[in-house]
Amino acid sequence: MNSPGGLDTASRDAAVRILMQRLTSRDVRAVFDAEMGSTRRKKSVEWIVAETEHAGGRLRSRLSDDDLATLLVDLMGPDLLSLKELRHRLALGASSDELDRLHDYPSQCVGRGGRPSQAKAIADRPWHPGKTWPAHFVRIHGFPDLFGGIAGSPTDPDSIDVEPFRPLPSLEDFQVDLKGQLLEVMNARPGDNRGILSLPTGAGKTRTAVEGLVEWRLSGPGRPGVLWIAQSDELCEQAVQAFREVWIDQGHRPAASREPLTIHRLWGGGRAVAAHPDVVVASIQKLHAIIRAEDGSDGARDERQRALALMAEHVGVVIVDEAHRVLAPSYAEVLRFLGAEIGRSGRSAVPLVGLTATPYRGVEEETRRLANRFHGRLLRPSGLGEDPVSCLRERGVLSRPVHTVVRHDGPLHVLDSDTRFQDYFERFSDFHPEFLQQLGQECVRNQRLINILCELPPKHPTLFFGCSVEHARAIAVLLRRRGRSAATVVAGTRSATRRFLIEEFRAGRISVLCNYGVLTTGFDAPCVQAVVIARPTASPILYEQMIGRGMRGPRFGGTEECLVIDVEDNIRFGGQMAYARYDEYWTASAGPATSANARNQR
């Protein structure tokens, strides 16, 4: 039987038992204070959990000592022993024989004195999950093997070779139409070789774009290179997998290429820059750091800059995913370096294509303004009419949303009560992270959210978007304490652990996946049946990305319907919440799933 967070029940119970046997409550408290303590402005996960579970009673900021070990295991899961302070306390409490066996393990970290010195040296040893030292540490203390961590390199390989042999489902007619428009742009003369490719989230714009790029590359002289730029690691990896799948699919086609396609990864820890690339998928952050000489030692930085300049000479097309970000200074600097400067008057020989999602007709003007930066050329399939969302729902490409707004009559939050919050909103048209943190700390609000989540069917795959890292982690813990399977993915989650948890979610072994800021893009789980948006936003782009995680329809392996739950908070800010702009989206193409749309739970 699986327990919450991807740990089987036996492993979870065993870890809790070992912590309670080997550590005092003071030890566990010291681990919390060292690793997860609160600040004046930010409550810890423990604080949020304790307040929520005792809402309406005496104010509590801590759990009982008996709960601490369980909370620690629930919070950290397979990465429990990555906490250095925990390893230190365990080493201090080890028997003499255990301490000797730990300390005698080959390492550069050696204690020269007695038990305290040796325990510190043991805790200081680098912890590489899934490797031999963690496995040794786990065995000595009697933890189940899973707590040695999930093996995985901190970064994926810089490149992979893909051989073609396996077919994909054929493109839909609207994707074929859009691919044709894309090929026209890439084959056009300078001045006409730019455009914005737009499809609603879930309708397969990445697959469509990659199909066009592969066809264009195979038909062009000299096999020009492709540079794909994205904002996040998730989006980058999504693009790599799309190229991999499409190239594999080439194997069954009559005019198939029998050459391998080399796809280069250039984000995160990836440092290799290909001089003559087939395909390079790069994050904007990595490219910007190389151009500004901020990545690595002096010699390495110079070498990567030269390699990037050489690569730019061999790139035949530049794709910008999530193109609404293209006006940021980092994009302008990178595109200028690549010879594809953005703007209405740019006339580079290198085609430049942006990808974006158009959720519904109400934001059509925003998409057109963005398209002006790409010579005003907007690529949209002609066969879907003026309301592509409704058409795609009718065809089963997109799911039908059932929208519910939950009203929370909490304390009044006035944005201009803090100049930082007001200035941030005026600059970014959205809420300051600290403002969101305060909402995530409201115990009555969190109690309501937990009740709502627990009312959903246990087998409903649900995405939860929290107000902060602490909020997302606390909600997952609260759900586990109610017997629900839940896990958390945040920016600090190890890549290997993140992949493990997402696969557990896809497989149905985790029912609620809580996150803050990392699953808005590049996350593909067609099985999602509910999206709970607990973080308010005034940004229609961010909001569309969040609800888009559940919009994959049955024709593309998704669901017929997807429940979308918003929270109406007591906020005064002189603007409009993003979900309030979506009345047309919820009611488009009225059908069985729209009978509950715009229903308020008060």
Would 138 be classed as within a structural domain? yes
Range with lowest mean pLDDT among 29-38, 249-258, 399-408, 426-435: 249-258
Do 446 and 582 lie in one domain? The reply is yes
Would 223 be classed as within a structural domain? yes
CA distances from 593 to 386, 391, 406, 529, 553 (A): 22, 15, 18, 13, 13
Would 226 be classed as within a structural domain? yes
Residue 86 has a pLDDT of 95
108: β partners: none
Pairwise pLDDT comparison (270 vs 558), residue with the higher score: 558
Do 557 and 433 lie in one domain? The reply is yes
Number of domains in the chain: 3
Domain boundary among 347, 370, 386: 386
As a whole number of angstroms, the distance between CA 322 and CA 231 comes to 7
Do 428 and 460 lie in one domain? The reply is yes
Would 153 be classed as within a structural domain? no
Do 348 and 374 lie in one domain? The reply is yes
- The percentage of residues in the chain with a pLDDT greater than 70, rounded to a whole number, is 85
CA distances from 5 to 45, 152, 268 (A): 16, 18, 26
pTM of the model: 0.79
Would 426 be classed as within a structural domain? yes
Mean pLDDT in residue range 563-568: 94
Tell which residue, 558, 473, 481, 549, has the closest CA to residue 514.
473
Residue 346 has a pLDDT of 57
Using 50, 70 and 90 to split pLDDT, how confident is the model at 254?
Answer: low
Mean pLDDT in residue range 500-504: 85
Domain residue limits at 312: 159-386
Residue 429 has a pLDDT of 83
Q: Exposed, middle or buried, 95 (CB in 10 Å: 0-12/13-18/19+)? A: exposed
Using 50, 70 and 90 to split pLDDT, how confident is the model at 163?
Answer: low
Do 320 and 416 lie in one domain? The reply is no
Residue 536 belongs to domain with CATH number? 3.40.50.300
Range with lowest mean pLDDT among 121-130, 134-143, 414-423, 496-505: 496-505
Would 185 be classed as within a structural domain? yes
Do 313 and 447 lie in one domain? The reply is no
Tell which residue, 21, 397, 11, 343, has the closest CA to residue 178.
397
Do 340 and 405 lie in one domain? The reply is no
Do 564 and 455 lie in one domain? The reply is yes
Decide if 408 contacts 467 (C-beta within 8 A): no
Range with lowest mean pLDDT among 14-23, 488-497, 560-569: 488-497
As a whole number of angstroms, the distance between CA 532 and CA 461 comes to 11
Q: What is the DSSP string of 477-541?
A: HHHHHTT--EEEE-TTS-HHHHHHHHHHHHTTS-SEEEESSSSSSS---TT--EEEE-S----HH
Do 182 and 87 lie in one domain? The reply is no
Pairwise pLDDT comparison (565 vs 41), residue with the higher score: 565
Domain boundary among 338, 361, 386: 386
Q: Exposed, middle or buried, 171 (CB in 10 Å: 0-12/13-18/19+)? A: middle
Mean pLDDT of the chain: 83
Mean pLDDT in residue range 165-171: 76
Mean pLDDT in residue range 305-327: 85
Do 425 and 557 lie in one domain? The reply is yes
Mean pLDDT in residue range 449-466: 94
Residue 512 has a pLDDT of 94
pLDDT in tens, 59-106: 677 888 888 899 999 888 888 999 999 999 999 999 999 999 999 888
Do 125 and 165 lie in one domain? The reply is no
Using 50, 70 and 90 to split pLDDT, how confident is the model at 168?
Answer: confident
pLDDT in tens, 180-227: 999 999 999 888 889 989 888 788 889 999 999 999 988 877 778 899
Decide if 259 contacts 248 (C-beta within 8 A): no
Domain boundary among 365, 386, 407: 386
Do 481 and 539 lie in one domain? The reply is yes
